[in-house]
């Protein structure tokens, strides 16, 4: 799944703060966007879907951060809690996407996301066949609705920008993958 899809999913959770604590809904959303994207920074580091993906351990951060935010609600504690939640949901949901290879639509790789707890790769379920697939864009679009409709200002603008980036990525995803596979990148 695209990083932008994960960020939009995070905003869906953050939007739950709107009826409860509207004054913290924006930091919740911004924390969720950052946390939704954060695990995929490992694409540029060592091992994608491994180094910064923790399908189990991020939940410990969630368990620690939400009580802190509830007892001591500030912009930063709330943002941190939703950052952890979005990163945790991201890491788990990557197992429902495609494999890690350059051309995941060809069903070419058995690695979905790495479980540091089990010390092995979790196989991809391919409900979302690959990152940048039309179904991925559909999920991104649906999950962008709270950010677009319930928020204004920065969160709405970022949600719109991410959706535009997602749509563009879907168009170029296969050519990029085919190019990478041909040149063994
Ligand atoms: Zn990921």
pLDDT at 21 over 70: yes
What the block records as the tokens of 172 is 């170029």
pLDDT at 44 over 80: no
Q: 120 alpha carbon to ligand 1 midpoint, in Å?
A: 16
Q: Give pLDDT, residue 78.
A: 98
Percent of the chain with pLDDT over 90: 84
Domain boundaries, the chain: 3-178
Q: Is 120 helix (H, G, I), strand (E, B) or coil?
A: strand
> 6, 30, 27, 37: which is closest to 78 by C-alpha?
27
Residue-wise over 124-135: b if at least 16 C-beta within 10 A, else e? bebebbbbbbee
d(CA 141, CA 124): 22
Mean pLDDT computed over every residue of the chain: 94
Q: 43 alpha carbon to ligand 1 midpoint, in Å?
A: 8
Q: Give pLDDT, residue 102.
A: 83
Q: Give pLDDT, residue 185.
A: 66
Q: 102 alpha carbon to ligand 1 midpoint, in Å?
A: 14
pLDDT at 153 over 90: yes
Kindly report, residue by residue over 93-122, the tens digit of the pLDDT: 999 999 988 888 886 789 999 999 999 999
Q: Give pLDDT, residue 124.
A: 93
Q: 136 alpha carbon to ligand 1 midpoint, in Å?
A: 13
* Average pLDDT rounded to a whole number, residues 158-176: 96
Q: 79 alpha carbon to ligand 1 midpoint, in Å?
A: 20
Q: 19 alpha carbon to ligand 1 midpoint, in Å?
A: 29
Q: Give pLDDT, residue 101.
A: 84
Q: 112 alpha carbon to ligand 1 midpoint, in Å?
A: 9
* Average pLDDT rounded to a whole number, residues 21-33: 98
Q: Is 115 helix (H, G, I), strand (E, B) or coil?
A: strand
Q: 40 alpha carbon to ligand 1 midpoint, in Å?
A: 5
d(CA 21, CA 8): 20
Q: 150 alpha carbon to ligand 1 midpoint, in Å?
A: 26
Q: 93 alpha carbon to ligand 1 midpoint, in Å?
A: 8
**Backbone angles phi and psi of 114, in degrees to 5:** -90, 130
* Average pLDDT rounded to a whole number, residues 14-28: 97
Q: 8 alpha carbon to ligand 1 midpoint, in Å?
A: 13
Q: Are 28 and 65 in contact (CB under 8 A)?
A: no
Kindly report, residue by residue over 46-98, the tens digit of the pLDDT: 678 989 999 999 999 999 999 999 999 999 999 999 999 999 999 999 999 99
pLDDT at 28 over 70: yes
């Amino acid at each position: 799944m695209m990083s932008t899809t994960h960020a939009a999913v995070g905003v869906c959770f953050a939007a739950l703060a709107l009826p409860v604590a509207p004054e913290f809904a924006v930091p919740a959303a911004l924390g969720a966007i950052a946390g939704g994207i954060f695990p995929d920074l490992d694409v540029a580091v060592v091992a994608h879907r491994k180094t910064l993906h923790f399908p189990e351990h991020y939940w410990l951060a969630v368990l620690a951060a939400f009580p802190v935010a509830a007892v001591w609600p500030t912009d930063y504690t709330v943002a941190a809690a939703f950052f952890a939640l979005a990163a945790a949901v991201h890491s788990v949901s990557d197992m429902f996407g495609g494999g890690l290879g350059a051309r995941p639509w060809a069903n070419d790789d058995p690695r979905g996301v790495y479980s540091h707890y089990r010390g092995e790769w979790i196989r991809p379920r391919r409900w979302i066949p690959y990152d940048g697939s039309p179904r991925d864009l559909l999920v991104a679009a649906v999950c962008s609705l709270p950010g677009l409709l319930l928020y204004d200002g920065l969160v709405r603008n970022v949600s719109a920008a991410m959706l535009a980036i997602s749509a563009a990525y879907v168009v170029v995803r296969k050519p990029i993958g085919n190019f990478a596979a041909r040149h063994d990148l």
